[in-house]
Amino acid sequence: MGRDEEKRAELKAKEKRMDPLRVASLFSGIGGMELGFESEGFITTIQCEIDKFCLSILEKNWAKVPKKYDIKELSNAEIPFSEVWAAGFPCQDVSLARMGKRAGLKGTRSGLFFEFVRLVKEGRPRIIFLENVHGLLNSHKGRDFEIVIRTLAELGYSVGWRVLNSKNFGVPQSRRRVYIVGCYRDRRGPGKILFEPKRSERDAEESESNGSATISPFKKVFGNPSEEGPVVQGIAYCLYACSARHTGTDWSRTYVTYPKQGMVRRLTPRECEGIMGFPEGWTMPPDENYKNNDIDSLRYQALGNAVTPPVVAWIAKRIKSYLLS
């Protein structure tokens, strides 16, 4: 290659790095993935979501982004070129919050993972990014997770995964999720993206081995019980979405109390938006046809199924650095 050709190649590579990176969102929910990636400069190219309430939230916040309703009817040709495909595929059939036997990847919801695989098999994006409940790791004694990893590897992806807790990313909620990154034909990529070269605060909690005994974060509170105002836990329990009224789940273990008045109430949807890392009012639908009694339940459920944007933003930043390196 001559000097002129080298310069042209360098210029072309520089121009490519200046182009905005793109992310395609599948199983979009209320857009937690998109918020995280867009905070790092990515552009959302498409959203696919079947839940009508969640779709109304996406329409409100991304009016110009193309929408698809059912991933079963989505073709690879309809997905604009995107360096990253992000998907929080349904967790209901692998979640530990589900009472009784878990259907796993054979379930009608979590089994939609294979629709994602169908699209990846043809599209081969450079990066795939998945999020799910950490119950995926032991669903059917780990066989479901093995299927996920093996299936992606057979498509040519080197895969890495890491369990991260939202409370270590500035979110006042203990929410453990498994994050999976696949890099097409690059075995070193997932490690570069998901792991720091040294152990950090993301990895472990404080332990008693360093001296003083630890106090459960759930016992730390804000507010004074002797005063009129409310008292809230410093860290909320994980917000699940397995019940319309959210009784018998961790939603019902995070209360706002008013000790002096002897009153207790559950968190409001607006408060839940905050402890999930979403902007205030994010889940208020634009459609006035929703009945007031239904809105709260729909908002609770959508938030309980969502991914926390600050965690995604941390990973998106590392994906961006990898793509531009």
Concatenate the DSSP letters of all residues of 169-217 into one string.
Answer: GT-SB--EEEEEEEEET-TTHHHHHH--SS--TTT----GGGSSPP--G
3-state secondary structure of 64: coil
Contact status, residue 102 vs residue 140, Cβ threshold 8 Å: yes
Q: Which residue among 48, 54, 91, 272 is the active-site one?
A: 91
- Quickly count: other Cβ atoms within 10 Å of residue 73's Cβ: 11
Helix extents (H) in the chain? 3-18, 32-38, 52-61, 113-123, 143-154, 189-194, 269-276, 292-304, 309-324
- Quickly count: other Cβ atoms within 10 Å of residue 85's Cβ: 25
Query: What angle, rounded to 10 degrees, do the helices at 292-304 and 52-61 form?
Result: 80
Q: 238 catalytic, yes or no?
A: no
Tokens matching residue 114: 């294979």
What positions carry a catalytic annotation?
91
